[in-house]
Amino acid sequence: MFFGDGAIINNWSQDYELELGNAANDDQRFLQRRVDYCEEFQQFFSKTCSDVLVNMEELLAKHTPARGDKS
């Protein structure tokens, strides 16, 4: 997947997800934003067979038990 300027969406999306994780080290509110971002990304790009989706699924599986709204 490419933007018009040639930047690869996969790289940008993973960088953003990682930065949300880094921010969560200082402020736990960013953990929820990271989870929300991954869920929304998966919904939007659900038709792709991207390694990014697999990575985000692993992240969600890791953090779902910590969330109060899902078990």
22-48 average pLDDT score: 89
The verdict on residue 2 lying in a domain is no
The verdict on residue 20 lying in a domain is yes
The pLDDT score that the predictor gives to residue 3 is 55
The pLDDT score that the predictor gives to residue 32 is 92
10-39 average pLDDT score: 91
The structural domain count of the chain equals 1
The verdict on residue 1 lying in a domain is no
pTM beyond 0.75: the answer is no
The verdict on residue 16 lying in a domain is yes
Residue 20 has pLDDT above 60, yes or no: yes
Domain that holds residue 29: 9-66
**Cβ(30)–Cβ(20) under 8 Å?**
yes
13 CB-contact burial (10 Å; exposed 0-12 / middle 13-18 / buried 19+): buried
